[in-house]
Amino acid sequence: MEKNSYCVFHPELYNVKQTPLDHVKDFISKKLPELGWGQTQEKEIVMDVGCGPGKNTIQLILPLFPQAEKIFGIDFLPNMIEFARIHNCHPLIEYNVANIENWSMVEQWNGQISKLISIHCIHWLKDKRRGLQNIFQLLKPGGEIAFCFVMSCPIFPVTLKLESDPKWSKFFKDVDNMVSDTYIDKHESSRYIKMMEDIGFEILYREGEKADPYSSDEEYRDFFASLCVLMSHVPSDQREEFKDEVFQEMLKLNGRDSSGRPVHRATIIEVVARKRDIENSKSV
């Protein structure tokens, strides 16, 4: 039987962290302006792919583009878009349900996007080449993409461990655990850099490993429980226990910092790239 590919991340728990992750905040608010993002006086059309509940869209992306004509936030999970429209709305932001791997869902923006940001989304794609090709098509000539891509993260082995635990496994039959093939197959970041170059991107910037401290055990527990798609399949009266086990397993792998705060350590590549002239690039 084919596994259920429709995963449910929990928007309220995912949104619970009061400030964006440190490495995300630094990437969008510091690195991108250094590379010229948000510096033009031209009206720009911006897209946030995998916007989730919209917190990064409204807290980081909107301030980066004071001259933005429009910011489109897209996510393929309707519950995330519904949450974003209610809790993180703004007149310049339009949230839409769309899957970047499905061209028919995004073709309305063909060749219109000047800047595209994707935070912790592309690694979830089943067909990353197709997703990146579609992004290439959405960008205007000379348009740029910036993304954070998780190569390896403790939530992946924790999910695999709990999925096979006899205590919990009965709840996960035919459930897609959403553990990235990048982690399963131990892909190198060079694989995706070459993929982008083959599609027609010029790489402008790339960087590696990141660590983010959390202000409390509760914040850490709730955030990573929201990233474990298995949680929504656990009976409601056992979810707190399941969240506790996710937390304890994450702590074993990540530990705490010198102040005693739980820390998340992961191999995350940050990439900024520009769409080359389409005549010199491969078409989709």
Partners of 152 in the β-ladder: 267
**Cα distance between residue 98 and residue 80, in whole Å:** 11
Give the position of tokens 């959390």: 214
pTM confidence score: 0.84
Please report, for residues 3, 83, 93, 114, 247, the alpha-carbon distance to residue 268 in angstroms, rounded to integers and kept in the order given. 27, 26, 27, 24, 21
User: pLDDT tens-digit profile of 52-80?
Assistant: 999 999 999 999 999 999 999 999 999 99
**Cα distance between residue 128 and residue 125, in whole Å:** 5
**Cα distance between residue 181 and residue 69, in whole Å:** 36
List Cβ neighbours of 22 (8 Å cut-off, separation of 6 or more). 212, 213
User: pLDDT tens-digit profile of 142-175?
Assistant: 999 999 999 998 989 999 999 999 999 999 988 8
User: pLDDT tens-digit profile of 122-138?
Assistant: 998 999 999 999 999 99
